[in-house]
Amino acid sequence: MEYYNYLKSLHLIFVITWFAGLFYIVRLFVYQIEASEKPSLEKEILQEQFKIMSYRLWYIITWPSAILASFFAFWMLFFTEMGNAWLQMPWMHVKLGFVFLLYLYHLKCHQIFKQLQNNEVKHTGNFMRIWNEGATIILFAVVFLVILKNAVNWIFGVIGIFLFSILIMLGFKFYKRIRERNQS
């Protein structure tokens, strides 16, 4: 059991750093996109700095954290007695569905990262602000599933996530209005 707790601890540490990287990379996308709208010299300086910051964050923190979190998760699930028990539980199947969504989110972030590294701006800063909430929603869903583990409770938790998403969107619209007023 102690061996399992070490794996679980390492998994959790790398999940935290993975999410930290995902949260911050999208903020850097917002800054880089907004820098592309600046006058020429300022634009060039800012974009180069954001490219360096994004590159280091993405390849030194975010990707390694994703790989290590996955490695320790697979180890726990497939090579321990506890993991075999968890795989029999319905909430774990739902959690793994959200983890799959997290991988898709991560890969889409990688695509956006590559575009911005090549000075291709295909999204707006506002789109990226909304996109940033995707990882938040997945994080909330997974934490509720892992903590509650009860079929009825996780259903309410997932419904709560969708309601939380609506609140985030309303908050975003409110924040956008404030920003537009302050820029006028």
Q: So what's the pLDDT on residue 89? A: 87
Q: So what's the pLDDT on residue 151? A: 53
pLDDT in tens, 63-92: 999 999 999 999 998 888 788 888 888 888
Q: So what's the pLDDT on residue 106? A: 98
Low-confidence ranges of the chain (pLDDT < 70): 1, 150-155, 157-158, 184
Overall size of the chain counted in residues: 184
pLDDT in tens, 16-28: 999 999 999 999 9
**Residue position matching structure tokens 């997932």:** 158
Residue 114 near residue 55 (C-beta atoms within 8 A): no
Q: So what's the pLDDT on residue 73? A: 94
Q: Is 110 annotated as a binding residue?
A: no
- The C-alpha atoms of residue 82 and residue 59 are separated, in whole angstroms, by 32
Q: Where are the domains of the chain?
A: 2-183
Q: Is 43 annotated as a binding residue?
A: no
Residue 34 near residue 106 (C-beta atoms within 8 A): no
Q: List Cβ<8 Å contacts ≥24 apart for 160-166.
A: 161/137, 164/137, 164/140, 165/133, 165/137
